[in-house]
Amino acid sequence: MRWRPHITEAGIARAVVILLAFVALEVLCRVGIINRVTMIPPSEMVASLWSILITGRYNEDILFTLFNVIAAALIAIVGGFFVGAALHGLPRLRRPLVPLLSAWYAIPTFVFYPLLIVAFGVGRTALIVMGALFGVVAMIVNTTLGLDHVPPAVAKTSAILRLGSLRRLMLIRLPSAAPHLVTGIKLAVAYSVIGIVAGEFILATQGVGKRIAFSYDNFDNRTMYGMLLLLLVAVMAVNGALSGWEKRLHRRFGAR
Partner 1 sequence: MKSTRFDYLLLLAGMLALWQLVHWAVGPDVLSSPWATIRRAGELVATRAFWDHAAATATAFGIAGVISILAGIALGLWLGLRRFAGDVADPILGTLYSIPKITLYPIILLLFGLGVSAKIAFGVIHGVFPIAIFTMSAVRNVAPVYHRTARVLRLSPAATALTIMAPAALPEMLAGIRVGVALTLLGVLIGELFASTSGLGFALIRAMDTHAVADIMAITLLLFVFAASVNALLGFVERRARHGG
Q: Which is nearer to partner 1, 154 or 232 (CB)?
A: 232
State the Cα–Cα distance between residues 131 and 110, nearest whole angstrom.
Answer: 10
Among candidates 220, 222, 193, which has minimal Cα distance to 209? Answer: 193
Binding range to partner 1, per CB under 8 A, among 64-72, 146-154, 160-168, 234-242: 234-242
Q: Which is nearer to partner 1, 8 or 165 (CB)?
A: 8
Query: Distance of CA 255 to CAs 13, 180, 193, 245, 248, Å?
Result: 29, 11, 29, 15, 12
Among candidates 205, 194, 230, 192, which has minimal Cα distance to 121? Answer: 205
Collapse the DSSP code of 106 into the 3-class scheme (helix H, G, I; strand E, B; otherwise coil) and give the result: coil
Q: Which is nearer to partner 1, 113 or 172 (CB)?
A: 113
Tell me the site size for partner 1, rule CB under 8 A. Answer: 48
**Taking the complex as a whole, how short is the minimal distance between the CB of residue 156 and partner 1, in angstroms?**
28
Among candidates 78, 190, 68, 84, which has minimal Cα distance to 129? Answer: 68
Give the footprint of partner 1 on residues 14-53 (CB under 8 A): 14, 17-18, 37-39
Give the footprint of partner 1 on residues 94-113 (CB under 8 A): 95-97, 103, 105-108, 110-113
**Taking the complex as a whole, how short is the minimal distance between the CB of residue 228 and partner 1, in angstroms?**
5
Give the footprint of partner 1 on residues 109-148 (CB under 8 A): 110-115, 117-119
Cβ pair 183, 245 in contact under 8 A: no
State the Cα–Cα distance between residues 46 and 30, nearest whole angstrom.
Answer: 15
What angle (nearest 5°) sits at the alpha carbon of residue 151, between those of residues 149 and 156? 140
Collapse the DSSP code of 161 into the 3-class scheme (helix H, G, I; strand E, B; otherwise coil) and give the result: coil
Binding range to partner 1, per CB under 8 A, among 70-78, 145-153, 162-170, 227-235: 227-235
Among candidates 61, 60, 63, 81, which has minimal Cα distance to 71? Answer: 63
Binding range to partner 1, per CB under 8 A, among 59-67, 70-78, 79-87, 189-197: 189-197
Q: Which is nearer to partner 1, 97 or 171 (CB)?
A: 97
Give the footprint of partner 1 on residues 65-94 (CB under 8 A): 92-93
Q: What is the CA radius of gyration of the chain?
A: 22
- Applying CB under 8 A, the residues found at the interface with partner 1 are 8-10, 13-14, 17-18, 37-39, 92-93, 95-97, 103, 105-108, 110-115, 117-119, 190, 193-194, 197-198, 201-203, 209, 212-213, 216, 224, 228, 231-232, 235-236, 239
